[in-house]
Amino acid sequence: MNLVIDVGNTFVKLAVFQDDEMFYQTSVEEQGFKNEFEIILETYPNIDTCIISSVGNLNGTALKLIKHSLKVIVLSSEIKLPFINNYTTPKTLGVDRLALISAASKLYPIKNVLVIDAGTCITYDFITKENIYLGGSISPGIRMRYQSLNNLTANLPLIETQMPENIIGNSTESAIHSGVVFGVLNEIEGVIGSYKEKNSDLTVILTGGDANFLSKQLKSSIFANSNFLLQGLNHILQYNTAE
């Protein structure tokens, strides 16, 4: 069995896999990691291998605990990947994007796939049906847009994310909601449309923290998958431990 650990900026996600099947998945804050990790090892004593994707910072004590208990692979640009990487600066490519493209390679082989990760940033990543990763784009996520309006202006308030009722905002708050949310939706639809102009057989995956919020509003045909990154990490682990 495999343990997948994705260290984000706020939460640590843990998932247990047997081959391609996910048996368990949870998300904890860093201070709750040690307790959750020990519970998982007790519940699934057959776990022997682990992969760590560390976008945020996992403290040294937690890392020592993992390495003491399991055989560990730390995801980096140096690791063997299950696709051809044509990114011109591979060392600057985020490990989360490596995992997402690995999931696309595994779950949608022989397809042109656009993976959209709607989180802190919105990333767009494209892999061809020949299993070649070409790159993509990065733009600010929903919360980052709300926060930027507040931080970089004198009078605009910081408000909670909300689906606007109308494209025309009749107050400052409703105008912000319209600008941010419809701006993101139109951006995503526009990017999908641009890719479809060149790839009529395009498969689109939407994942990340804002995927559920956005998927109900998008007109384009997409597959929403909140566990896509975890599945990609598991595939990389399998790919690097296969005999």
Task: Indicate if 100 and 121 belong to the same structural domain.
Answer: yes
Task: Indicate if 45 and 136 belong to the same structural domain.
Answer: no
Q: Would you state the pLDDT for residue 119?
A: 92
113 appears as a binding residue in the annotation: no
Strand partners, 206: 116, 224
196 appears as a binding residue in the annotation: no
Task: Indicate if 59 and 91 belong to the same structural domain.
Answer: no
49 appears as a binding residue in the annotation: no
In a domain, 217, yes or no: yes
87 appears as a binding residue in the annotation: yes
Task: Indicate if 135 and 177 belong to the same structural domain.
Answer: yes
In a domain, 243, yes or no: no
In a domain, 227, yes or no: yes
Q: What is the CATH number of the domain that holds 62?
A: 3.30.420.40
pLDDT in tens, 118-175: 999 999 999 999 999 999 999 999 999 999 999 999 999 999 999 999 999 999 999 9
pLDDT in tens, 216-235: 999 999 999 999 999 999 99
201 appears as a binding residue in the annotation: no
How far, in Å, are 6, 145, 149, 186 from residue 180 at the CA level?
Answer: 28, 6, 9, 10
96 appears as a binding residue in the annotation: yes
Whether 201 is catalytic: no
In a domain, 241, yes or no: no
6 appears as a binding residue in the annotation: yes
9 appears as a binding residue in the annotation: yes
Task: Indicate if 9 and 68 belong to the same structural domain.
Answer: yes
Hey, what's the torsion of the CAs at 108, 103, 186, 55, to 10 degrees?
-170
Task: Indicate if 93 and 211 belong to the same structural domain.
Answer: yes
In a domain, 96, yes or no: yes
Selected catalytic residue, list 96, 125, 201, 210: 96
172 appears as a binding residue in the annotation: yes
- Domain end among 42, 74, 106: 74
In a domain, 10, yes or no: yes
In a domain, 110, yes or no: yes
- Domain end among 47, 74, 101: 74
Task: Indicate if 48 and 90 belong to the same structural domain.
Answer: no
- Domain end among 74, 99, 134: 74
Alpha carbon 149 to its chain's center: 24
How far, in Å, are 8, 189, 229 from residue 14 at the CA level?
Answer: 11, 31, 11
In this predicted structure, the answer to whether residue 9 has a pLDDT above a threshold of 80 is: no
For residues 96-106, average pLDDT: 97
Tally the domains of the chain: 2
In this predicted structure, the answer to whether residue 55 has a pLDDT above a threshold of 70 is: no
Task: Indicate if 192 and 152 belong to the same structural domain.
Answer: yes
φ, ψ for residue 203, nearest 5 deg = -105, 130
Q: Would you state the pLDDT for residue 188?
A: 98
Domain coverage including residue 42: 2-74
In a domain, 41, yes or no: yes
Two tokens, residue 32: 């709750």
Three-state DSSP string of the chain: CEEEEEECCCEEEEEEEECCEEEEEEEEEHHHHHHHHHHHHHHCCCCCEEEEEECCCCCHHHHHHHHHHCEEEECCCCCCCCCEECCCCHHHCCHHHHHHHHHHHHHCCCCCEEEEEECCEEEEEEECCCCEEEEEEEEECHHHHHHHHHHCCCCCCCCCCCCCCCCCCCCHHHHHHHHHHHHHHHHHHHHHHHHHHHCCCCEEEEECCCHHHHHCCCCCCCEECCCHHHHHHHHHHHHHHCC
